[in-house]
Amino acid sequence: MKKRILGNGLEVSAIGLGCMGMTHGFGKPSDQEEMIKLIQDAFKAGITMFDSAEVYQGADEQGNILYNEDLLGEALKPYRDQVVIATKCGIKMADGKQVLDARPEVIRESLEGSLKRLQTDYVDLYYLHRVDPNTPIEVVAQTMKELLAEGKIRHWGLSEAGIETIKKAHAICPLSVVESEYSIMWRSPEKELLPLLKELNIGFVPFAPLGKGFLTGTIDVAATFPATDTRSKQPRFKQEAMAANAKLLDVVKEVAAKHNATPAQIALAWLLAQGDNIVPIPGSRKLGRIEENIKSSGIELTKDDLDIIEQALDGVDLVLDRWDPNSPNAKRVGK
C-alpha cells in the first residue's frame, strides 16, 4: 500500500477504512466479533487509517448500545503504534436524536469516553464532526490546541465545515485534515474547498468516495432501502435518480474495462488523481471489497482516462442531491 502525508506530517495509507457502517447507518449492525477480525485483516492487507466517531452507534437485539469505537479499540490494540485512529466529537445522542454540542467541556468529556472505548491514551486524528452554531469555532480550535499540548490528540480536523470556518479555525490551531463528501458523483468540494486546502497545506479525507455504494456498480437501480439505511432518506437513491445516474456508471465501467479493474477501483483511482493530499475512506463489511479498494492505489489513470470521465460528467444530467434541503442533515453542512 502506498502512503500519503496529510497536513503537517500525518502519514497514512493512501486508502483508509471508514468503519461507520459496521454499527451505524447501513441497516442492522454486523456481528461484532466478525468486524473486529475484519478490521485486523484490513490492517494486515495494508490499511493504516481507520475512521470512526463517538456517534456511530447501533444496538443489538437486546437493545444494548454498540459503539463503533469499541470495535477499533479491541481490533487495533495489538497494532496501536502502527495505525492512525480517527474519531469525532460534537454530535451527541439525546432522546434518540442527534444534537450538535461543541462546548469545551463536552469535547473533553467526549474525548475521555472515546479514549476508554478505543483502549488508548491518545487519538491520532480528532475531528469536530459538525460545526455547532452555538459554540464559536475559535473556542473549539483553542480547546483542540490545549488537547494537542496535553498529548491527548496528535492532529485535529473538521468535518463538513465551510470555508470561513476552516480559515478561522486554522488561524488559531493549524488543521491537519478536513473531511467531506467527494466522489466522481459529488464534486462540490472542487469549487472552493480543494483550492483552500491546498493553499493552507491541509489534507482532505473524502467520505462516501464510492457514492455510498452506487459507484461499485452493484446496486440495482430498482432497489429500495430500509429505514435503518441512511440512503432511504437521500434523493439520489430514489429509483428515478439512480436510473439517471447509471449513465455515469456506464462510463466508469468503460474505463474500468481498459484497466482490467472494477468500477469501484476506477472511482477511487480518480479521487487519488485529484491531488496528493487526498486519502479516501471507503467503508465495507467484507474483506474482499476492502482488498479490491486497496488495489486502486496502484492504478494510474491516464490523461485520456481522466478526459473521458470529465467529458462524460459534462454531458450527463445527473440527479445528485444528498439530502432534502429542509432536513437536519442538509442544514448542518458547510457551516
Asked if residues 308 and 301 have their Cβ atoms less than 8 Å apart, the reply is no
Q: Are 120 and 85 in contact (CB under 8 A)?
A: yes
Backbone φ and ψ for 219, nearest 5 degrees, come out as -95, 125
**Residue type at 235 in one-letter notation:** P
In the annotation, is 56 catalytic? yes
Q: Which amino acid belongs to residue 274?
A: Q
Q: Is 61 exposed, middle or buried (0-12, 13-18, 19+ CB in 10 A)?
A: exposed
* CA within 13 Å, CB half, 38: 22
Sign of the torsion angle spanned by Cα atoms 295, 54, 197, 335: positive
Closest CA to 148 of 133, 126, 178, 115: 126
Q: How far is CA 302 from the centre of its chain?
A: 26
DSSP codes, 18-64: E-GGGTSSBSSPPPHHHHHHHHHHHHHHT--EEE--TT-EEE-TT--
DSSP annotation of 65 reads: E
Name 48's Cβ contacts closer than 8 Å, sequence gap at least 6. 1, 3, 12, 13, 16, 82, 83, 84
Catalytic choice (56, 67, 126, 182): 56
CA 326 to chain CA mean position, Å: 23
On the CB side of 335, CA atoms within 13 Å amount to: 17
Instruction: Give the active site residues.
Output: 56
